[in-house]
């Protein structure tokens, strides 16, 4: 679900369909950063001179992405919300937010971004910004609060923010990682300061629930239907949310009025019922396994107990 979903961009760049200038680490496409710019996963951008025949499928990043549309248009979907970006707008995507670019394909566009690993994958975790930003604790706390308790996805970039993005693009296009690192650190730090001040001028409504452990569990439960074949237990569901079993169980009970194990079985059975009706070519055993049941016999027992009729009867 993470960086591997940038494969379409990488392939398009190799085919000459789009110009990709990015310095990266881990599996993100671009030129390796090595030891430069700790905690930056990707910095740079793409330039698509014409409409493309590819898009970036729904995925999550491993960090916070702050990006700017320097030219063209772009359809961005974040957690199911569709945004039609125009030149001069910017967007923020947090690590737990599913997003995609293109509908389904990317339009002619130039996008510039910085992607930071701030040590979080879930809403309730503590953010850690790079030491090289040289910010005070007060200011990093201000920035974190604005980004973690406000989930506005799209806004218009100020002139200062736009200028800093263009300067970042120019530095990366120059290709000199070692010789440009100090300058790039300063520009990125300035960009974040300008962005924070822009957000504060807009005075967004901040919601502490957005950074709560209950929200983490809520997101996990919403996405559970997409991972039913995982070998879920109370222990590893709680671990996926970086919570204790007690915390996870309490939040699940509050959100669903069910225990985690009971809720998991309910979701699996509802998915099985839907797939039995829609996927005539799949066998009952195949559907049982895809929904996370270890045996078709146990699946049939649970299914009849819940719905009052057997899986076979669903297909008659």
Tell me: do 169 and 261 sit in the same domain: no
3-class secondary-structure state, position 74? strand
pLDDT at 1: 37
Place of tokens 């996405």: 223
Tell me: do 117 and 230 sit in the same domain: no
Tell me: do 151 and 275 sit in the same domain: no
Q: Specify the DSSP element, H or E, that contains 90.
A: strand 89-93
pLDDT at 6: 86
- Provide the CATH number for the domain around residue 82: 2.60.120.280
pLDDT at 316: 78
pLDDT at 5: 66
Tell me: do 163 and 247 sit in the same domain: no
Tell me: do 70 and 168 sit in the same domain: yes
Q: Specify the DSSP element, H or E, that contains 76.
A: strand 64-78
Last residue of a domain, one of 159, 187, 204: 204
Residue numbers in the chain where pLDDT is lower than 50 = 1-4
Last residue of a domain, one of 204, 225, 241: 204
- Per-residue model confidence as pLDDT tens digits over 256-307: 999 999 999 999 999 999 999 999 999 999 999 999 999 999 999 999 999 9
3-class secondary-structure state, position 60? coil
Tell me: do 46 and 115 sit in the same domain: yes
pLDDT at 315: 85
Query: What one-character DSSP code corresponds to residue 132?
Result: G
Tell me: do 251 and 130 sit in the same domain: no
- Provide the CATH number for the domain around residue 217: 1.10.10.60
Tell me: do 293 and 192 sit in the same domain: no
Tell me: do 25 and 163 sit in the same domain: yes
Q: End-to-end CA distance of the chain, in Å?
A: 37
Domain containing 302 equals: 212-314
Cα 292 to Cα 57, 85, 263: the distances in Å are: 25, 39, 13
Last residue of a domain, one of 152, 170, 204: 204
Structure tokens at 315: 């297909």
């Amino acid at each position: 679900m993470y960086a591997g979903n940038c494969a379409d961009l990488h392939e398009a760049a190799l085919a000459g369909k789009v110009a990709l200038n990015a310095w990266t680490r881990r599996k993100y496409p671009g030129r390796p950063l090595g030891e430069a710019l700790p905690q930056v996963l990707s910095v740079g951008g793409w330039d698509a001179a014409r409409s493309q025949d590819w898009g970036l499928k729904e995925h999550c990043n491993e960090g916070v992405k702050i990006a700017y549309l320097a030219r063209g248009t772009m359809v961005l979907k974040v957690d199911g919300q569709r945004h039609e970006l125009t030149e001069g707008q910017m967007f923020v995507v947090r690590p737990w937010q599913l997003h995609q670019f293109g509908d389904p394909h990317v339009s002619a566009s130039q996008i510039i971004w910085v992607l930071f690993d701030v040590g979080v994958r879930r809403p309730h975790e503590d953010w850690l910004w790079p030491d090289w930003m040289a910010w005070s604790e007060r200011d990093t706390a201000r920035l974190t609060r604005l980004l973690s308790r406000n989930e506005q996805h799209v806004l218009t970039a100020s002139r200062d923010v736009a200028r800093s993005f263009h300067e970042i693009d120019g530095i990366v296009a120059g290709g000199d990682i070692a010789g440009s690192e100090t300058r790039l650190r300063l520009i990125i730090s300035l960009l974040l300061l300008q962005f924070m001040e822009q957000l504060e001028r807009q005075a967004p409504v901040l919601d502490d629930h957005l950074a709560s452990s209950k929200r983490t569990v809520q997101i996990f439960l919403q996405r559970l239907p997409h991972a039913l074949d995982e070998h879920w237990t109370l222990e590893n569901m709680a671990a996926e949310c970086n919570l204790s079993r007690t915390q996870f169980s309490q939040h699940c009970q509050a959100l669903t009025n069910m225990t985690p194990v009971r809720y998991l079985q309910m979701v699996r059975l509802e998915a099985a019922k839907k797939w039995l009706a829609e996927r005539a070519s799949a066998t009952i055993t195949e559907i049982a396994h895809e929904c996370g049941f270890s045996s078709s016999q146990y699946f049939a027992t649970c299914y009849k107990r819940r719905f009052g009729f057997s899986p076979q009867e669903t297909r008659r």
